Amino acid sequence: MNILHETKDILRRSGRISLELYKIMIPIIIVVKVLQELGLIVWLARPLAPVMHLVGLPGEMGLVWATALVNNIYGSMIVFVSLAGQHDLSVAQVTVLGVMILVAHGLPVELQIVRKSGPRIGFQALLRIGGALTLGWLLSRIYAWGGWLQDASVIIWQPRPESESLLAWGLGQVQNLAMILVIITLLSAVMRVFTAIGLTGLCVRLLAPVLRVLGIGSEAGTLTIVGMIMGLAYGGGMIMHEAHSGKVGSKDIFSSLSLMGLSHSVFEDTLLMVVIGGHVSGLLWARIIFTLVVIALLVRVVAWLGDDFFYRRFFKPVEVYSKPEPCCPGAASPEVMPERK
C-alpha cells in the first residue's frame, strides 16, 4: 500500500464529501438564522400545541419541538430550559419530548442531504415527523399505563445561551463546518484502515442477517452504521458520495437513509436528552427498536408496491459522475437505474 497515494486519495474524497455538504448546509443555515432572528419559528409552534396535548405534553412544548424541527437539538434545549420552570414535567413527559426531538430535528439541512442521494424529500419528511409523533404517542401511553417514570424530571445540565452577536454566531458556524471536514477525513481514514485489515468485511458479515432484513446491502452497511453512531450529516454525506459514484444501489440508499433518519447519532444525541431529564429507556432502546421495526416493514411495503411506484414516489436516481466501482473488494457493482422524470 502506497501511504502517500492513500493519504492523497483520502483527502480528495473527504474534500469532495465536505464540499457537497457545504453546498447544502451553508444556505440553509443562513435562512434558518434569519427566520430565528425574525421570530418566525414561534409561528410554526402554534399549530403544534394540539399535537403536544395528544402526546401528554403542555402546548407550550410545541415551541421546543418547532425549534428542533427547524434549527437543531442544541437550540431546542435552550428553549426547553427557559420553559421548563413554568411546568412540573415528569421524567416520562421529558422522555417523550426528547424522543420526538431525536427522531425529527434539523429537517431543512438533513432532508436536503438525503434528497441529494435520491430519496424523495416529501416521504422522508413524512417518515420522520410521522415517526416522531407515533413513537411519542406510543411511549406516552406505555408510561401512563405502567405508571412508569412519573417522578419529577431533573435538569442535570443547562446549556449556555447562544451569543446575540452575529459575529460570534458566524465564527461558531465556521468552526462547525471546519469540524465536519476534520471528522469526515478521520472517518475516511479509519474506514480505509479497517477495510485493509479486513475488519470492515467482518462487521458486514456479522451484521448481514440484520441488514438483509432491513433491505440494506453490504455496500451501504458500513456507512449506515457510521451514520447511526456519528450522525446523518456524516453517514448521509458518505452515502451521497457513493450514490453519485454509482457504487450503491437505489434501494440500499433508500433503506439506509430512512433508517438513519429515524436513528442517528444514537449516543451523543441521546446523552443530550438525558441531561435535560429524559430516560434512556425511550431515548435509546425504544427508538432503536421502533426504527428497526419500521424499516423492516417499510422494505416489505416497498417491495410489494413494485419498482414503478418506488421510483415515482419514494426515490429519484441521482446523476452518476463516474464509472461505478465496487466499494469493497470483491463486491459486485450494483445496477444503476436511469433517471425517471
The percent of residues in the chain predicted with pLDDT above 90, rounded, is 47
* Spatial contact of 180 and 14, defined as CB atoms under 8 Å apart: no
- Enumerate the domain spans of the chain: 3-314
Residues facing 72 on adjacent strands? none
pLDDT at 225: 85
Tell me which H or E stretch contains 83. Answer: helix 73-84
Instruction: Summarize the confidence of residues 89-94 as an average pLDDT.
Output: 97
pLDDT tens per residue across span 26-38:
998 898 888 888 8
pLDDT at 124: 97
Q: Closest Cα to residue 273, out of 114, 124, 81, 110?
A: 81
Q: What are the two backbone dihedrals, phi and then psi, of residue 91, each rounded to the nearest 5 degrees?
A: -60, -40
Confidence class for position 168, pLDDT limits 50, 70, 90: confident
Alpha-carbon distances of 255 from 96, 147, 204, 221, 264, rounded to whole Å: 25, 36, 16, 10, 14
* Spatial contact of 257 and 117, defined as CB atoms under 8 Å apart: yes
pLDDT tens per residue across span 277-307:
999 999 999 999 999 999 999 999 999 999 9
Q: In this predicted model, which residue has the larger pLDDT, 208 or 142? A: 142
pLDDT at 285: 96
Amino acid letter, residue 213: V
pLDDT at 339: 40
pLDDT at 329: 38
For the chain, how many residues are written? 341
pLDDT at 33: 85
pLDDT at 61: 95
Give residue 161's Cα distance to chain centre: 24
Residue for cell digits 436513528?
A: 263
Least confident of 53-57, 210-214, 285-289, 320-324: 320-324
Q: Closest Cα to residue 21, out of 149, 125, 114, 98?
A: 114
Confidence class for position 158, pLDDT limits 50, 70, 90: low
Q: Closest Cα to residue 36, out of 10, 57, 5, 67?
A: 67
pLDDT at 242: 83
Q: Closest Cα to residue 44, out of 5, 76, 1, 78?
A: 76
Q: In this predicted model, which residue has the larger pLDDT, 3 or 123? A: 123
What SS3 state is found at 152? Answer: strand
Q: In this predicted model, which residue has the larger pLDDT, 177 or 163? A: 177
pLDDT at 159: 64
Confidence class for position 163, pLDDT limits 50, 70, 90: low
End-to-end CA distance of the chain: 43
DSSP conformation class of 46: G
Computed over every residue of the chain, the mean pLDDT equals 86
Task: Find which of 7-21, 56-70, 72-86 is predicted with most confidence, using mean pLDDT.
Answer: 56-70
pLDDT at 134: 98
Q: Which residues of 41-50 are buried (b: 16+ CB within 10 A; e: fewer)?
A: beebbeebbe
The percent of residues in the chain predicted with pLDDT above 70, rounded, is 91
Q: In this predicted model, which residue has the larger pLDDT, 194 or 262? A: 262
Q: What are the two backbone dihedrals, phi and then psi, of residue 288, each rounded to the nearest 5 degrees?
A: -65, -45
pLDDT tens per residue across span 236-264:
888 888 888 888 889 999 999 999 999 99
Confidence class for position 335, pLDDT limits 50, 70, 90: very low
Residue 333 pLDDT greater than 60, yes or no: no
pLDDT at 251: 92
Confidence class for position 338, pLDDT limits 50, 70, 90: very low
pLDDT at 330: 38
**CB-neighbour burial class of residue 341 (10 A; exposed 0-12, middle 13-18, buried 19+):** exposed
What SS3 state is found at 315? Answer: strand
What SS3 state is found at 264? Answer: coil
> Left if phi > 0, otherwise alpha if psi is -120 to 50, otherwise beta: which for 147?
left
Amino acid letter, residue 255: S
Q: Closest Cα to residue 255, out of 216, 218, 228?
A: 216
